Amino acid sequence: MHVACVMDGNGRWASQRGLPRTEGHGAGEEALMDVVEGALEIGVGWLTMFAFSTENWRRPADEVRYLMNFNESLLARRRDELNDKGVRIRFAGRRDWRVPRRVLRRMDESSDMTLSNRRMTLTMAFNYGGRAEIVDAVRKLVAEGVRPDKIDERTIRAHLYFPDQPDPDLVIRTSGEYRISNFLLWQLAYSELVFTDVLWPDFRREDLFEAVAEFQRRERRYGRVHG
């Protein structure tokens, strides 16, 4: 099963406590680790977490800087633990000049270190945009000189960031926002969506289990008729 999460509501969580927004991001680490643990517990093989979008560069420079440092230090703090649990860490997104080198280096180290783990694939969507991913796929197709009549859904999928990754079965968004915000646009064509009011820093494995239970009550039809 593939579960994808839009970890949202960190800023509001902090504001409610009279704290700077960045404290909310910091508090999100506990939620992330608990969700990974819960996902392992119930045998989720694929977990994708939206950590930084291609649009998040529009935030104040000090928040962007905090998020870059935070994601880098989180990896430094947590990668051994994740590795011990059998988690393969991967990163989906653009490696553009705005991402500091040491962040890229830490990402590479973390994915290299966990490369052969198979219990779960944890994909961190970082400097990720669903539209950017599709643009990048099209660029690759054109660069390869693929003929128009050879392009179909399979060839497009084969040029996405991780062609081996199954589409998400379930997408969870926290913090009471009912939108996709440019997450996994190609892949979520038939995903079940679960929205919860819980703010990300308060989200725990029980909330994941509840979302999975809700998913299990859904009937996926893929365009067919009921039954």
By annotation, the residues acting in catalysis are: 8, 56
CB atoms within 10 A of CB 126: 24
Residue 8 interacts with Mg ion (CB under 5 A): yes or no:
yes
Residue 69: phi, psi to the nearest 5? -60, -40
Residue 10 interacts with ligand IPE (CB under 6 A): yes or no:
yes
Interhelix angle 61-84/101-114, rounded to 10 degrees, is 20
Stretch that binds ligand IPE, among 3-11, 38-46, 85-93, 96-104 (CB under 6 A): 3-11
Residue 198 interacts with Mg ion (CB under 5 A): yes or no:
no
Interatomic CA distance for residues 158 and 50, integer angstroms: 21
CB of 98 to ligand IPE, least distance (A): 14
CB of 99 to ligand IPE, least distance (A): 14
Stretch that binds Mg ion, among 3-11, 97-105, 122-130, 209-217 (CB under 5 A): 3-11
| DSSP at 176 | T
Distant-in-sequence contacts of 21-29, Cβ < 8 A, 24+ apart:
21/63, 22/62, 22/63, 22/66, 22/70, 24/199, 24/200, 24/201, 25/66, 25/67, 25/70, 26/70, 27/201, 28/200, 28/201, 29/70, 29/74, 29/78
Residue 133 interacts with Mg ion (CB under 5 A): yes or no:
no
Contacts (Cβ under 8 Å, ≥6 apart) of 60 = none
From Mg ion, ligand IPE, none, which one binds at residue 12 (CB under 5 to 8 Å depending on kind)? Answer: ligand IPE
CB of 163 to Mg ion, least distance (A): 29
Residue 50 interacts with ligand IPE (CB under 6 A): yes or no:
yes
> In the complex with ligand IPE, which residue's Cβ is closer, 86 or 100?
100
> In the complex with Mg ion, which residue's Cβ is closer, 8 or 133?
8
Positions 125 through 184 that interact with ligand IPE (CB under 6 A): 175, 177, 179, 181
Site residues (CB under 6 A) for ligand IPE? 6-12, 50-53, 56, 67, 175, 177, 179, 181, 200
